[in-house]
C-alpha cells in the first residue's frame, strides 16, 4: 500500500537494510543460488587494484573459468570502496563505502533469466514492489568491440518495459569492467528509478536516466560478462559467459523508503544526527562528507589497513584528514571520530562481525591519525606564519605552499583561507609549476613499476601464489605445526607471508626452509585442485583459513602430498613453473607474528 505524498510515493511499511539483504538472498536462493559471504575490502593477492570496488572483484578467477566451490549460481552482499568519485561525495547519492547485492552466473544462465529475475524482484509485490511505471532501463548501444544489445532490449520489452523507457547508451554508460587493467568485462543493462523530481540541470523533458541530475537513481546493474580485455586492449570472447549483477543497497533503500538521499537511510541518518549535535554551523555537504569518510575509514581499518603514506594506507589517511578538515568547517571542537566509529560498529556489527572484533584497533588508528594531523595543521600554520612575516608585499610563494600541501598534507583550501585572512594572494603560477614537476616525478615512478608489462605481471603473481603455499608448508616442517597463516600479500615484485611464531627464525632455519621450497620446485610436482565439503577437507588434513569463507564446500590446492591448502587459486599447474625461490627478509610483524618476504626468479 502506498500513500501519495505530493511528488513522492511513500510506503507505509519501512524496509531496513537487513531486510533488504535477506529478501535478496531469499529470492535468489529460491532460484538455486548459493550464498557466499562478503570478501575483504583488500583484494587477496591482486596487486592491480587497491580495494574491492565491486562485487565482481573477489570473483575474477571464477569469471575467468576457475570452478567455484559453491557452484555456478551465487548470491552475495559485498562491501565495496570507491575513491574515484570522492569529489561527488556529499551530493544525494555518491558514497565512498557502499554495499552491493549481487547474483552471479558462472557460465550458467545468461540475459533472459538475469533480466526477468531483476524485474520480478524489483516490481513484484512479494519482493520490492516498486512501481513499474517509474522504472527505466538502459542497454548497450554497440561499438567496434561489441554489438548493440538488441537482445536485452527485447527481453525488457517482453517483461513489460515500454520501448520509450529503454535507452541505448555507449561504453561510457553501459559497459562494465574489467575491474583492473585487464580481465572479464562486457555490456550491461542498468535499472533506474524515477524519483519524480524535476531535472535540476534544467533539461526538462530531455532529462534521461544518464543525465546525472539525480532525478533517475540507478539501483541495479546486470553485466553480461562475455569478454576478456587483454593487455593490448583487445576484447576477446571468454570461454564461459557470465552474469555479474550489482544492486546498491544504499540507493535501493533510499528508493523503497521514499527518501531523497542515501544519507537519509538508516545506514547514515544516525551518523548525521551525531554530527549535527556537535556542529555549530549547518552545512549539509560537509556533514555528509564527514559521515561518509569516517564510515569508509572504519571499514578499511577493520580490514587491516593502517594510515600511512603509501597505497591503501594513504587512502585511509586522506579520508581521515579530509573528514577532520570538514569537521573543523562545521565548527566541531569535540572528538567526532570515536562517537561516529562507535555508531558505525553498532549499525553494521551484526552483518559484519569483524568490525566488533577489531573495535580497539579501529579506535586506536583513528585517534592516532587525527592527532598526527592536528599536529601537522599546527606545524603548517607556523611555517605559513613565518613566511608571511618575511613577506612585506606580493603573492605568497607557490612552491612553499605546494610543499606544505604535498609534503605535510596541509590542505590547499586551508592554505587559501589562511592567506585570505592576511589579504595575501597565492602565486598560482609557481604552484602549478611545482605541481607539474611533482607529477612528472610520480609518473616516472609509475612507469618503472609497470616496466615488466601487465601480461607477465599477473603470471608472476600466480607463481608467487604457489610459492606461498610451498613456503607455508616448509615453515611448518621446520618450525612445527604451531605455524599458522596470519596474512598473505603478493605484488609482482615479492610475496609477503605473515605467520604465528613466538620468536625470531634463525638463519640456518631460514636456509632450510628455502631449500625445501626449492627442492619441491625442482621435483616438478603437479598442482591439483579439488572441491570438497569442508569436513572432508579437514579430514584429509588441509590447512588454511577454515572460516566460513565458502559455506559448505571449499576448494583445495594439493601439491603432491606435500601441501594441502584451502584456497581460491589460481595457481601454476606444476611446481617447476615457479622458478627459483629466495627469502629476502624475516622480521617481526606484530606480537607473536613473524613476516617473511621472498621472491621467485
Ligand atoms: N560490477 C557491476 C557494478 O559494479 C555489477 O555488479 O556495477
Angle at 311 between CA 591 and CA 296, to 5 degrees: 85
pLDDT band at 387 (very low <50, low <70, confident <90, very high): confident
Strand order in the sheet with 527-533: 527-533, 553-559, 563-566
What single-letter DSSP state applies at residue 71?
Answer: -
pLDDT at residue 541 is higher than 50: yes
List residues near ligand 1 (CB under 6 A). Answer: 54-56, 100, 102, 176, 221, 223, 244-246
Rounded (10°) angle between helices 398-406 and 412-421: 140
- Specify whether the backbone of 272 is left (phi greater than 0), alpha (psi in -120 to 50) or beta: alpha
Q: How far apart are CA 425 and CA 418, in angstroms?
A: 10
Out of 233-237, 276-280, 436-440, 524-528, give the one with best mean pLDDT: 276-280
For residue range 266-323, list pLDDT tens digits in order.
999 999 999 999 999 999 999 999 999 999 999 999 999 999 878 899 899 989 998 9
Q: How far apart are CA 392 and CA 415, in angstroms?
A: 18
Question: Residue with the nearest Cα to atom 5 of ligand 1?
Answer: 246
Q: Ligand 1 center to residue 270 CA distance, Å?
A: 28
Q: How far apart are CA 255 and CA 588, in angstroms?
A: 49
Pocket test for ligand 1, best of 176, 177, 178, 242 (most atoms within 8 A of CB): 176
Please, what's the b/e burial string for 294-329 (b: 16 or more CB within 10 A of its CB; e: otherwise)?
bbbbbbbbbbbbebeeeebbebbbbbbbbbbbbbeb
Question: Residue with the nearest Cα to atom 6 of ligand 1?
Answer: 246
Instruction: Mention the CATH class of domain 458-600.
Output: alpha beta
* Arithmetic mean of pLDDT, 384-407: 82
Question: Residue with the nearest Cα to atom 2 of ligand 1?
Answer: 246
Nearest to 103 by CA among 245, 295, 304, 273: 245
Pocket test for ligand 1, best of 57, 77, 223 (most atoms within 8 A of CB): 223
Question: pTM score > 0.85 for this model?
Answer: no
Q: Ligand 1 center to residue 218 CA distance, Å?
A: 11
Strand, coil or helix: what is 576? helix
Say if CB 278 and CB 104 are below 8 A apart. Answer: no
Nearest to 505 by CA among 576, 596, 415: 596
Report CA dihedral (23, 27, 32, 35) to the nearest 10 degrees. Answer: -20
Instruction: Please report, for residues 2, 10, 129, 346, 439, the alpha-carbon distance to residue 5 in angstroms, rounded to integers and kept in the order given.
Output: 9, 7, 18, 32, 52
Q: Ligand 1 center to residue 192 CA distance, Å?
A: 14
* Arithmetic mean of pLDDT, 46-56: 83
Question: Helices then strands (H, E): number in the chain?
Answer: 18, 18
pLDDT at residue 231 is higher than 90: no
Q: Ligand 1 center to residue 190 CA distance, Å?
A: 10
Long-range contacts of 314-320 (CB under 8 A, 24+ apart): 315/50, 315/51, 315/83, 316/369, 317/369, 317/409, 319/96, 319/293, 319/294, 320/293, 320/294, 320/366, 320/369, 320/370, 320/373
Instruction: Mention the CATH class of domain 17-260.
Output: alpha beta
Q: How far apart are CA 526 and CA 535, in angstroms?
A: 24
Amino acid 5: pLDDT: 38
- 491's grid cell: 605484488
Per-residue H/E/C for 403-443: HHHHCCCCCHHHHHHHHHHCCCCECHHHHHHHHHHHHHHHH
Nearest to 40 by CA among 454, 594, 487, 555: 487
pLDDT at residue 232 is higher than 60: yes
pLDDT at residue 578 is higher than 50: yes
Q: How far apart are CA 55 and CA 58, in angstroms?
A: 7
Amino acid 378: pLDDT: 82
Rounded to a whole number of angstroms, the distance between the first and last alpha carbons of the chain is 66
- List the chain domain ranges: 17-260, 268-377, 391-450, 458-600
Q: Ligand 1 center to residue 55 CA distance, Å?
A: 7
Angle at 559 between CA 106 and CA 47, to 5 degrees: 55
Using the atom order of ligand 1, give the atom closest to the CA of residue 55.
6
pLDDT at residue 9 is higher than 60: no
pLDDT at residue 230 is higher than 80: yes
Number of residues assigned to the chain = 601
pLDDT at residue 393 is higher than 70: no
Q: How far apart are CA 13 and CA 3, in angstroms?
A: 10
Average pLDDT, whole number, for the chain?
Answer: 88
Out of 108-117, 198-207, 387-396, 519-528, give the one with best mean pLDDT: 108-117
pLDDT at residue 46 is higher than 90: no
Report, in angstroms and rounded to the nearest whole number, the Rg of the chain calculated over CA atoms: 26
* Arithmetic mean of pLDDT, 395-424: 82
- 326's grid cell: 570538514
For residue range 150-200, list pLDDT tens digits in order.
999 999 999 999 999 999 999 999 999 887 778 899 999 999 999 998 888
pLDDT at residue 534 is higher than 90: no
pLDDT band at 4 (very low <50, low <70, confident <90, very high): very low
* Arithmetic mean of pLDDT, 385-390: 83
- 220's grid cell: 541495479
For residue range 75-112, list pLDDT tens digits in order.
999 999 998 778 788 888 889 999 999 999 999 999 99
Q: Ligand 1 center to residue 447 CA distance, Å?
A: 29
For residue range 551-567, list pLDDT tens digits in order.
567 788 999 999 999 88
Q: Ligand 1 center to residue 147 CA distance, Å?
A: 20
* Arithmetic mean of pLDDT, 345-361: 97
Name the β-bridge partners of 593.
500, 590
Amino acid 559: pLDDT: 96
Amino acid 126: pLDDT: 95
- Distance of alpha carbon 15 from the chain centroid: 25
Pocket test for ligand 1, best of 52, 105, 191, 245 (most atoms within 8 A of CB): 245
pLDDT at residue 49 is higher than 80: no
* Arithmetic mean of pLDDT, 43-55: 82
* Arithmetic mean of pLDDT, 527-550: 76
Q: How far apart are CA 540 and CA 291, in angstroms?
A: 48
Q: Ligand 1 center to residue 221 CA distance, Å?
A: 6
Pocket test for ligand 1, best of 39, 51, 54 (most atoms within 8 A of CB): 54
Number of neighbouring beta carbons within 10 Å of residue 467: 28
Using the atom order of ligand 1, give the atom closest to the CA of residue 56.
1
Using the atom order of ligand 1, give the atom closest to the CA of residue 102.
6
pLDDT at residue 461 is higher than 60: yes
Amino acid 451: pLDDT: 37
For residue range 465-521, list pLDDT tens digits in order.
999 999 999 999 999 988 988 888 887 788 999 999 999 999 889 999 999 999 999
Q: Ligand 1 center to residue 227 CA distance, Å?
A: 15
Query: In which residue are the cell numbers 549535527 written?
Result: 276
Using the atom order of ligand 1, give the atom closest to the CA of residue 246.
6
Using the atom order of ligand 1, give the atom closest to the CA of residue 100.
6
Burial class (CB in 10 A: 0-12, 13-18, 19+), 482: exposed
pLDDT at residue 446 is higher than 50: no
Q: Cis peptide before 570, with omega less than 30 degrees from 0? A: yes
Using the atom order of ligand 1, give the atom closest to the CA of residue 222.
5
Per-residue H/E/C for 353-370: CHHHHCHHHHHHHHHHHH
Say if CB 94 and CB 116 are below 8 A apart. Answer: no
Q: Which residue did the predictor score with more confidence, 446 or 391?
A: 391
Pocket test for ligand 1, best of 76, 99, 100 (most atoms within 8 A of CB): 100
Amino acid at each position: 500500500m502506498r500513500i501519495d505524498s505530493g511528488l513522492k510515493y511513500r510506503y507505509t511499511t519501512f524496509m531496513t537494510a537487513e531486510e533488504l539483504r535477506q529478501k535478496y538472498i531469499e529470492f535468489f536462493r529460491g532460484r538455486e543460488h548459493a550464498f557466499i559471504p562478503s570478501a575483504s575490502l583488500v583484494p587477496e593477492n591482486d596487486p592491480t587494484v587497491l580495494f574491492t570496488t565491486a562485487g565482481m572483484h573477489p570473483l575474477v578467477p571464477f569469471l575467468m573459468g576457475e570452478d567455484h566451490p559453491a557452484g555456478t549460481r551465487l548470491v552475495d552482499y559485498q562491501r565495496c570502496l570507491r575513491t574515484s568519485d570522492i569529489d561527488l561525495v556529499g551530493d544525494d547519492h555518491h558514497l565512498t563505502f557502499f554495499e552491493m547485492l549481487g547474483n552471479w552466473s558462472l557460465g550458467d544462465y545468461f540475459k533472459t533469466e538475469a533480466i526477468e529475475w531483476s524485474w520480478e524482484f524489483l516490481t513484484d509485490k512479494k519482493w520490492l514492489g516498486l512501481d513499474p511505471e517509474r522504472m527505466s532501463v538502459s542497454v548497450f548501444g554497440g561499438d567496434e568491440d561489441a554489438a548493440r544489445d538488441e537482445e536485452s532490449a527485447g527481453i525488457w520489452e517482453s517483461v513489460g518495459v515500454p520501448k520509450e523507457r529503454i535507452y541505448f547508451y555507449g561504453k561510457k554508460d553501459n559497459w562494465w569492467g574489467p575491474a583492473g587493467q585487464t580481465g572479464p568485462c562486457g555490456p550491461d543493462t542498468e535499472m533506474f528509478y524515477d524519483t519524480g523530481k524535476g531535472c535540476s540541470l534544467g533539461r526538462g523533458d530531455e532529462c534521461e536516466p544518464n543525465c546525472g541530475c539525480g532525478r533517475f537513481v540507478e539501483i541495479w546493474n546486470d553485466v553480461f560478462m562475455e569478454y576478456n580485455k587483454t593487455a593490448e586492449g583487445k576484447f576477446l570472447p571468454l570461454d564461459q559467459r557470465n552474469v555479474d549483477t550489482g544492486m546498491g543497497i544504499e540507493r535501493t533503500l533510499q528508493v523503497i523508503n521514499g527518501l531523497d538521499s542515501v544519507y537519509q537511510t538508516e545506514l547514515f541518518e544516525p551518523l548525521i544526527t551525531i554530527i549535527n549535535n556537535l556542529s555549530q554551523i549547518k552545512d549539509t555537504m560537509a556533514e555528509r562528507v564527514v559521515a561518509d569518510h569516517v564510515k569508509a575509514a572504519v571499514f578499511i581499518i577493520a580490514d587491516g589497513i593502517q594510515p600511512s603514506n603509501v597505497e591503501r594506507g594513504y587512502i585511509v589517511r586522506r579520508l581521515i584528514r579530509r573528514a577532520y578538515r570538514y569537521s573543523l568547517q562545521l565548527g566541531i571542537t569535540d572528538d567526532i571520530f570515536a562517537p561516529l566509529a562507535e555508531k558505525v560498529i553498532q549499525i553494521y556489527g551484526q552483518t559484519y562481525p569483524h568490525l566488533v572484533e577489531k573495535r580497539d584497533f579501529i579506535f586506536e588508528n583513528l585517534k592516532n591519525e587525527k592527532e598526527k594531523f592536528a599536529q601537522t595543521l599546527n606545524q603548517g600554520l607556523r611555517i605559513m606564519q613565518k613566511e608571511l612575516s618575511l613577506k612585506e608585499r606580493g603573492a605568497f610563494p607557490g612552491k612553499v605552499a605546494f610543499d606544505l600541501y604535498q609534503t605535510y598534507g596541509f590542505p590547499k583550501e586551508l592554505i587559501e583561507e589562511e592567506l585570505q585572512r592576511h589579504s595575501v594572494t597565492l602565486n598560482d603560477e609557481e604552484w602549478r609549476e611545482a605541481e607539474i614537476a611533482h607529477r612528472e616525478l610520480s609518473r616516472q615512478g609509475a612507469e618503472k613499476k609497470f616496466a615488466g608489462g601487465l601480461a607477465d605481471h599477473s603470471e608472476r603473481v600466480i607463481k608467487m601464489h604457489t610459492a606461498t603455499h610451498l613456503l607455508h608448508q616448509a615453515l611448518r616442517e621446520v618450525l612445527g605445526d604451531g605455524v599458522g597463516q596470519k596474512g598473505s600479500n603478493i605484488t609482482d615484485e615479492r610475496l609477503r607471508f605473515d605467520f604465528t611464531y613466538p620468536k625470531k627464525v634463525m638463519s640456518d632455519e631460514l636456509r632450510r626452509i628455502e631449500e625445501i621450497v626449492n627442492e619441491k620446485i625442482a621435483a616438478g610436482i603437479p598442482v591439483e585442485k579439488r572441491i570438497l565439503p569442508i569436513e572432508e577437507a579437514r579430514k584429509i588434513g588441509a590447512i588454511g583459513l577454515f572460516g566460513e569463507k565458502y559455506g559448505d564446500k571449499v576448494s583445495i590446492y594439493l601439491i603432491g602430498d606435500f601441501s594441502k591448502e584451502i584456497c581460491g587459486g589460481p595457481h601454476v599447474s606444476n611446481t617447476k613453473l615457479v622458478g627459483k625461490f629466495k627469502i629476502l627478509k624475516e622480521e617481526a610483524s606484530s606480537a607473536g607474528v613473524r613476516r617473511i618476504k621472498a621472491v621467485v626468479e
